[in-house]
Amino acid sequence: MKNISNPLRMRIDPDKGYLGKDGWFFLGNRYDRESDQALGNHAIDDAVSARWDQSLRYAAKVLERRSSKLIVFITPAKWSIYPDKVDRRKSAAHPSSPFHRLRENLTGSEVTFVDATAALIEARKIADTFSPLNSHWNNFGGLVGWNELRNAIIQCCPEISLPEVPRYECIETVDDFNEAFNMVGLEGRNPWMRPVYAEDLPTYDYLLPGYVRSVQRGEREIDLTELPVITECSSTPNRARALLLRDSTGNQISPFIQTGFRRVLQQQHNYEQERSFTNVLGPVKLFNPDVVIFLMTERYLIYNFLDAEYWKDANDFDLAIAGETYIWPRELQRQSIEVFFGEKFESPEGLKLPNNDGRKRHANITLNCKTISSIQVKTASPGAGYARSFPVNAGINEIFFTLEADMVASEIILSAPIDYSITRIEIRCA
């Protein structure tokens, strides 16, 4: 391997990354304070930790009522699996990481939490699960991660028969995926470990617009830039559907998920991008997944879980008294209100918010949006009112919000810089 401990004595911007031991490159603080997290110099406060914990618990309950099981898979960071390669000379006493705090909080809860840390460390005895010049796990690491995820799914969803991955004959080393070169210009070989299987993975169909199918090799990864994507594998022994919410760490594990389930919808979760996170319950309503897999890299846990209120409001809506329900449209015919760019929506004729009589009102609005954007929801009110912006996907979106008891508003007003249609509104008093 070319010596990369200090090639040509090049200077690396420490904000972008730094070299640890044996020429292993680690991301800097520009990328989600990765350096501080690796060195134990950054700890999240209790409020952020509690927000993640409570949000995922609410999400699991809401999805369970929609016949979907939530699987949370936080993929360990490179520095969690290779602490021996991190230069600890500038490190502080390592606090309890967000990853470990979340794992401890969710143990024994309704949330299925997958922790592949021990398996990835143990697998190093066979071959590296990460590489020196890339922050993502390699193909061998992706296989180890899938085996842990598969075991968790089999345990919580025994009715889903997931196929085993074919036996690998050897693990080959290729020089590829030097991420550090693109980031900081760091040259050098990057040994990337890739299993060579005794049999090919089964093929799958990549579903294109217009119901066109494109047959893909089973080993073919789906890159983050291709999302959203629907795939179908007719040879898998189950008929289960999976909604995969992921980031770039999903690239290497995607072949096993695509060939493990009958149908898979992959979407980017966007939890690292403030106010851009994906609307989950819209795709759930449209796709009816058996499992919702939340696959996210460890370093994003430093962010406040921005849609915590959304999941709580969805849960409260589900539990509200169904006997006092106000629904538009009242007839079960296909109809919608089309709202065009720049227009404001006001409650349709015949729908007035029910008199709350000092009680909370829980609202659910179903929208079909033309593109990714955000939509502003507010109430027309002489006193205390409600206002919030919701990120929306292209396609079906489910918005939930709660009007507190002191909000006497009688109308809902929506505004967004896109074309969209409203297909259903439901208000429940509780």
Give the highest mean pLDDT range of 7-21, 215-229, 343-357, 399-413: 215-229
40 and 92 assigned to the same domain: yes
Q: How confident is the model at residue 424 (pLDDT cuts 50, 70, 90)?
A: confident
pLDDT at 45 over 70: yes
Are 383 and 268 found together in one domain? no
pLDDT of residue 413: 79
DSSP 85-110: GS-GGG--PPPPPHHHHHHHHHTTSS
334 in the same domain as 218: no
Question: Is 203 contained in some domain?
Answer: yes
Structural domains of the chain, count = 2
Last residue of a domain, one of 308, 337, 356: 308
Whole-number Å distance between alpha carbons of 385 and 202: 55
Domain for residue 150, yes or no?
yes
Residue 315 lies in a domain: no
What was the pLDDT predicted at 334? 43
Residues 154 and 259 in one domain: yes
Domain harbouring 421, CATH code = 2.60.120.260
* Burial environment of residue 282 by CB neighbours within 10 A (0 to 12, 13 to 18, 19 or more): buried
Query: Do both 121 and 183 map to the same domain?
Result: yes
| Residue 246 contacts residue 296 (beta carbons within 8 Å) | yes
- As a whole-number percent, the residues of the chain with pLDDT over 70 amount to 85
Domain range for 298 is 7-308
Mean pLDDT along residues 14-40:
90
Three-state DSSP at 374 gives: strand
Q: What is the pLDDT of residues 76-96, one digit of tens each?
A: 999 999 999 997 765 554 556
Whether the pLDDT of residue 158 is over 60: the answer is yes
Is the pLDDT assigned to residue 285 strictly greater than 70? yes
Indicate if 275 and 363 belong to the same structural domain.
no
Q: pTM (2 decimals)?
A: 0.90
Q: How far apart are CA 330 and CA 191, in angstroms?
A: 62
Task: Write out the two tokens for 243.
Answer: 């909604």
Domain assignment of residue 12, yes or no: yes
Q: What number is the average pLDDT over the span 399-422?
A: 82
**344 pLDDT above the threshold of 60:** no
Mean per-residue pLDDT, 385-399 = 89
* Spatial distance between the Cα atoms of 114 and 157, rounded to a whole number of angstroms: 14
Q: Tell whether 314 is covered by a domain.
A: no
Mean residue pLDDT of the chain comes to 86
CB 363 within 8 A of CB 427: yes
Residue 410 phi/psi, 5-degree rounding, is -115, -5
Cβ–Cβ under 8 Å, residues 266 and 244: yes
- 327 & 301 share domain: no
**Residue 262 pLDDT > 90, yes or no?**
yes
Asked if the model's pLDDT at residue 332 lies above 60, the reply is: no
Best-predicted range by mean pLDDT (69-78, 338-347, 416-425): 69-78
| pLDDT given at position 425 | 83
Residue 293 domain-assigned (yes or no): yes
Among 76-80, 131-135, 367-371, name the most confident range: 131-135
Same domain, 301 and 206: yes
